[in-house]
Structure 1
Amino acid sequence: MMNVGKKVLILTLAFLFLVGGMSLAQDLPREETLVVSGAMWGPPSTWNVLIPNPTPGTGGLVYETMFSYNPLENEYQPWLAESGEWVSDNEYVLNLREGINWTDGEEFNAEDVVFTYELAKDNSIMYSPVWDWMESVEAEDNYTVRFTFSEPHYAEWDSELYQRYIIPEHIWSEIPSDELITRTMKDPVGTGPYMAREAGQDRMVWERNDDWWGNDVFGQPKPKYLVDLVNQSNNVVMGMLMKGELDLSNNFIPGVQKVKDQFGLKTWYDGEPYMLSWNTANMYMNTTRKPMDDVQFRRAMAYMVDQQAIVDRVYGGLVKPANPTGLFGEGWLKYLDENVVDEYGFEYNTTKAKALLNDAGYVDADGDGWRDMPNGDPLELSIIVPSGWTDWMSAVRVISQNAEEIGVNITPNFPDSSLFDNKRFNKDFDMLIANFNTTLSSNPFDYWDGVANESIHGETISNGNWGAYDNPKLFDLIDKFNMTKNETEKQEIASEIQRILLEEMPTVPLWHNGLWAQQTTNNWTNWPNEDDPYGVPVSWGNAYQLGMIHTLIGLEPAE
């Protein structure tokens, strides 16, 4: 006999199917429309690419970068640029493609690139810090730009090449400085393959730019329309996938692997881990508080956590346990030193964790079953993640159970996301899980700068290193990695960085979060996967240049 819970779930899903079908009804031909979800968490409201999080797709679909980056092959592909190279230790010359126009018909040229960067010099916007090490940017002719650096940051520049969206001078030069961030730019003028068509409370609709310059270079994207739906609950998304109404979901959907074959869903891998890895979830420890200021205690925490239990029990095999260094992906793993990992790495080992704590004086002094501080004070800690992040909430419960096994009292706590951020920025926590600044990129400087940087001495922290770990020697090594082109030197520096991080353990890499991506084939086929990795199916903001445009080009309409 069917229990009441199952009956309610089935009725709920049936209702959601109907609602989902009704919500998609509009005048767009379905056979020309790609429907995606997973990037927007509220109605589209701004297309201003100068802010960190405009409407997803603004960067990539409308505004484009100088290069794209293939994280699967660790390869750059010329995009708005035809080529670029360091012509000296502190000069980089960019050669632009000819024949590119903005969607309003104006010509794209070197002055637009110069303007994009000089805007950040004259105003405080998100990429203004590039001018801390850039000296000048000049147009030598219509299609040549020379960047001169006062202190070249080679690793950061590698990322800049595929992360900086170029904007049209003839549009943005008319905007007053005090409106550069507040203007919504609702009808954005770009060079990209799509244009804004309409925005609604539950969706953003993009229409293909049939005059896109890239049609002759890369091929034309197949979908004429792209509908990006505002995120709903997991049940709604799952229902739409099961009915084939949603073509691509970039949502985390627990249990999707259990119904994948039944409903014909596609994922990157056919079996575990199903998803590509996208970032590293770290356990940060607040080193300004005891006992997290003790390296012995921090190392014990690394041996304490059963990563595989989190992978199996929380994610059902949808993610991978983290490499002890936190590194993954082709661009990062080329610098991985396996010898360092073998000598200084960690694994789940309660015997080792207990021994480290015992040696450091963290013992049960009063016989209540919990370890105490070396001075006899109670050892009571909390670990926080945002409320509603159900997978992370389950993960910290596993960590709390792991801690109990070795006699350490760590209580899970779930503040709302705004309070979590406040605590993170203000060092008001004992431990927390975070993946900020650890997303897959072209080199591991981005990761290292996110777990150990020197911007920790003010009242607040806003750029990683949430635990305020202070190690000037390590900071200097990370800077040296950033500022050398010599690959032999970079490998040596990278090895030393990994050794220090594993010896000092300011953070514990736990698991590699997946690129949550589930596809249906009712309307579109030929999705990229491990056997045909021609693109990356990701609609998250600021990720289109990492393979999604290639996916739009490679898709085929279903027969």
Structure 2
Amino acid sequence: MRRVVSILLVLALLTGVLGVTSVAAAATTEFPRSQTLYTGGKQWGPPSNWNPFMTGNYATGTIGLCYETLFLYDPLTAKFTPWLASSGKWTNSTTYRLVLRSGLAWSDGKALTVDDVKFTIELGKKTTLNFSSLWSWLTSITKVNSTTLDFKFKTPLYQEWDNYLYNLPIVPQHIWSTKSLTDVATGANDKPVGSGAYLYNTYDQTKMVWEKNVNWWATKALKLSVAPKYVIDLVNTSNENSLGLVLQGQEDLNNNYLPGISTLLTGGYALHTYYPSAPYDIAANTAWLDINLQKKPMSDLAFRKALAYGINVADIVSRDYNNMVSAADPTGLLPMWNKYVDQAVVKKLGITYNPAKAKQVLAAAGYKDVNHDGFVENKDGTKIALKLIVPNGWSDWMAAAQMISKSAKAVGINIVASYPDFNGYLDARLKGTFDLAIDNQANVSNSPWTYYHFIFYDQLKDIPTTQGGNYGRYNNKTAFALVTQLDKTKTTDLAAMKAVISKLQTIQLTDLPMIPLWYNGMWAQMSTTYWTNWPSSVAGKNHDLPVTWNGYWNMTAILMLTQLKAVKQP
């Protein structure tokens, strides 16, 4: 590991020097360095659209810096913070009343009102957007008065509704009502007008530039002010270049996985991470093994159990990630959801690394090494030769795949790591042509419902187009019904939520439709050269999320910008 770090450091410094030139030039001219926050880690290509409804494709900051949501959600405290809304509550089992703040404004000076909120959500009824499914259970939105809306539901999905409250961006009716429905759904939305703390400034092939909105409504309403005048998100060219920029203080926050950071923290590079020691970063999502249940031997539960016993996750954590991640609980639920883990179920059904047990399970199920090549064959004597796919270039996953292959082979299961390009990986997963794949798409959220909705996604025939999850094609109507039951459970009824989740965990650990591996971090390498008071786990510090990824600004990352302090330069 030390050799890898030293080589990476040399490359980082060499490439970083080259990469810094343009950044430094901008810093001394158009964008004063002491007023500019440089970020990176989300964009791997030039910014091309600012449409908040094009999930995953819009420029960094489109939602959060420009467009805002009704609430913020803090996954570390499991609390909602009223944002554009001043309050929201269920007045009865099927009606949700939303009260909007007074004094809200769009960046062009026009007032932001409940009409904008109503218009935005009703767009999902008129054209296909990422929240259009809401209208299968929402029946109407009624304007009660100038600040109040009533949402009437046919069948309230309480977990899902809470998720929309902090994820659905509100857009200005006076601008978006002039767009065609096609433009609403897929248009680039150049030079966006939002309500957020930052205004669109400019962009080019290398960066996206946001400029402070001096008329931001929250300055008066919430006494909040963002510290950087400019936020410039740099387009990634390589992890080595990103590391070089961070080490030299020319990139203030990077959200890539940068191997070796743990070693460099004590090297005098003015680096900061959320946790001062391993795992350094907050857990963001669970990496797991997708298992194609339509193919043999993966369709055999005994084989899946043997595979689970045979994977040495601890080796991946220590050798691949240098303890920058931690091993996943057998349920795969993130650490912030520990209260939902039924420990009795885990104790009874949970599987952890045990190579001897893996061999026993294989033998008991009839898997034998017929030709004495060190690998078991199928029960009918045919050869087992499985491919574990991860995207080419994802170095940490590639190393993990090799380690899984090695530990599986040690118990007699022939698995070979394979590295298609990302489109090939995605195509194999969506079409169900893969054997095994590492995946991690269920991110931190307000509820474990999002996790179970993903791994027990019930629209099997629509997986190739909806990309809704369950790529292994697990088919269990009881599990599907329980996910729906969980969605219909009020988020305030913790006991009822736990009861449903316990049943889901029992099914999951009994059938093993996927195998949880480790928790990926909210990768965050922060430089204290120009900015300080970064988020930290240390008592007395702010605990906001130091992440610029889509969906995280509205999970308190925007508050990070109000806490930063410029470092006085000599």
TM-score interval for Structure 1 and Structure 2 normalised by the shorter chain:
over 0.9
- Measured after TM superposition, the shift of residue 388 of structure 1 is 0.6
Aligned counterpart for 2:242 among listed residues 212, 237, 245: 237
In 1: Cα distance, 2:509 partner to 2:7 partner: 50
Pairing 1:107-118 to 2, within 5 Å after superposition? 107-118=111-122
Pairing 1:346-495 to 2, within 5 Å after superposition? 346-436=351-441, 438-458=442-462, 460=464, 462-485=467-490, 486-495=493-502
Amino acid at match of 1:44: P
* 1:302 matched residue in structure 2: 308
The alignment's TM-score, normalised by the length of structure 2, stands at 0.95
The one-character-per-residue Cα deviations of 1:287-335 (angstroms, maximum 9, x if unpaired) are 11111111111111111111110001110010011111110143x3231
1:509 equivalent in alignment to 2:516: yes
Describe the shift of the 1:324–1:459 C-alpha distance in structure 2 as closer, same or farther (beyond 3 A).
closer
Describe the shift of the 1:7–1:213 C-alpha distance in structure 2 as closer, same or farther (beyond 3 A).
closer
In 2: Cα distance, 1:7 partner to 1:63 partner: 41
In 1: Cα distance, 2:403 partner to 2:542 partner: 34
The one-character-per-residue Cα deviations of 1:8-60 (angstroms, maximum 9, x if unpaired) are 98487345314413333121111111111111111111001111121010000
* 2:33 matched residue in structure 1: 30
Describe the shift of the 1:15–1:56 C-alpha distance in structure 2 as closer, same or farther (beyond 3 A).
closer
- Measured after TM superposition, the shift of residue 458 of structure 1 is 4.4
- Measured after TM superposition, the shift of residue 212 of structure 1 is 0.5
1:60 equivalent in alignment to 2:64: yes
Q: 2:272 aligns to what SS in structure 1?
A: coil
The one-character-per-residue Cα deviations of 1:124-178 (angstroms, maximum 9, x if unpaired) are 1111111111111122122111111111111111111100001111110000112
In 1: Cα distance, 2:12 partner to 2:71 partner: 46
Describe the shift of the 1:420–1:14 C-alpha distance in structure 2 as closer, same or farther (beyond 3 A).
closer
In 2: Cα distance, 1:353 partner to 1:12 partner: 42
8 Å CA contact 1:101–1:107 kept in 2: the answer is yes
* 2:557 matched residue in structure 1: 548
- Measured after TM superposition, the shift of residue 487 of structure 1 is 3.0
Describe the shift of the 1:10–1:405 C-alpha distance in structure 2 as closer, same or farther (beyond 3 A).
closer
In 2: Cα distance, 1:515 partner to 1:425 partner: 26
Describe the shift of the 1:458–1:61 C-alpha distance in structure 2 as closer, same or farther (beyond 3 A).
closer
Describe the shift of the 1:51–1:368 C-alpha distance in structure 2 as closer, same or farther (beyond 3 A).
same
* 2:293 matched residue in structure 1: 287
Q: 1:181 aligns to what SS in structure 2?
A: helix
- Measured after TM superposition, the shift of residue 251 of structure 1 is 1.1
In 2: Cα distance, 1:72 partner to 1:323 partner: 18
Amino acid at match of 1:17: V
* 2:328 matched residue in structure 1: 322
Q: 2:474 aligns to what SS in structure 1?
A: coil
Describe the shift of the 1:255–1:294 C-alpha distance in structure 2 as closer, same or farther (beyond 3 A).
same
- Measured after TM superposition, the shift of residue 183 of structure 1 is 2.0
8 Å CA contact 2:270–2:529 kept in 1: the answer is no
8 Å CA contact 1:56–1:542 kept in 2: the answer is no
Q: Point out the more displaced range, 19-28 or 79-88.
A: 19-28
* 1:189 matched residue in structure 2: 193
* Number of aligned residues: 554
Runs of 5+ unmatched residues, structure 2: none
8 Å CA contact 1:373–1:379 kept in 2: the answer is yes
1:140 equivalent in alignment to 2:144: yes
Amino acid at match of 2:371: D
Aligned counterpart for 2:73 among listed residues 53, 57, 69: 69
Q: 1:61 aligns to what SS in structure 2?
A: coil
In 2: Cα distance, 1:470 partner to 1:431 partner: 17
Pairing 1:525-544 to 2, within 5 Å after superposition? 525-531=532-538, 532-544=541-553
Describe the shift of the 1:105–1:7 C-alpha distance in structure 2 as closer, same or farther (beyond 3 A).
closer
RMSD, aligned α-carbons: 1.7
* 2:215 matched residue in structure 1: 211
Q: 2:323 aligns to what SS in structure 1?
A: coil
Q: 1:145 aligns to what SS in structure 2?
A: strand
In 2: Cα distance, 1:84 partner to 1:11 partner: 51
In 2: Cα distance, 1:241 partner to 1:295 partner: 46
Describe the shift of the 1:474–1:44 C-alpha distance in structure 2 as closer, same or farther (beyond 3 A).
same
In 2: Cα distance, 1:396 partner to 1:9 partner: 24
* 2:21 matched residue in structure 1: 21
8 Å CA contact 1:221–1:553 kept in 2: the answer is yes
- Measured after TM superposition, the shift of residue 185 of structure 1 is 1.4
In 2: Cα distance, 1:447 partner to 1:457 partner: 20
Amino acid at match of 1:56: T
* 1:255 matched residue in structure 2: 260
8 Å CA contact 2:15–2:240 kept in 1: the answer is no
- Measured after TM superposition, the shift of residue 7 of structure 1 is 9.4
Amino acid at match of 2:298: M
8 Å CA contact 1:21–1:245 kept in 2: the answer is no
- Measured after TM superposition, the shift of residue 369 of structure 1 is 1.7
8 Å CA contact 1:522–1:558 kept in 2: the answer is yes
In 2: Cα distance, 1:107 partner to 1:154 partner: 30
Describe the shift of the 1:408–1:101 C-alpha distance in structure 2 as closer, same or farther (beyond 3 A).
same
Q: 1:391 aligns to what SS in structure 2?
A: helix
Runs of 5+ unmatched residues, structure 1: none
- Measured after TM superposition, the shift of residue 182 of structure 1 is 3.1
Q: Point out the more displaced range, 65-74 or 24-33.
A: 24-33
- Measured after TM superposition, the shift of residue 547 of structure 1 is 1.6
Amino acid at match of 1:101: A
8 Å CA contact 1:57–1:542 kept in 2: the answer is no
In 2: Cα distance, 1:392 partner to 1:22 partner: 32
In 1: Cα distance, 2:370 partner to 2:11 partner: 56
Aligned counterpart for 2:52 among listed residues 49, 52, 57: 49
Q: 1:180 aligns to what SS in structure 2?
A: helix
The one-character-per-residue Cα deviations of 1:333-363 (angstroms, maximum 9, x if unpaired) are 2311111111111111011111111111111
Q: Point out the more displaced range, 484-493 or 198-207.
A: 484-493
Amino acid at match of 2:446: S
In 2: Cα distance, 1:200 partner to 1:135 partner: 43
The alignment's TM-score, normalised by the length of structure 1, stands at 0.96
Aligned counterpart for 2:273 among listed residues 267, 276, 293: 267
8 Å CA contact 1:72–1:329 kept in 2: the answer is no
In 2: Cα distance, 1:11 partner to 1:504 partner: 46
In 2: Cα distance, 1:298 partner to 1:453 partner: 20
- Measured after TM superposition, the shift of residue 265 of structure 1 is 0.5
Q: 2:271 aligns to what SS in structure 1?
A: coil
Q: 1:35 aligns to what SS in structure 2?
A: strand
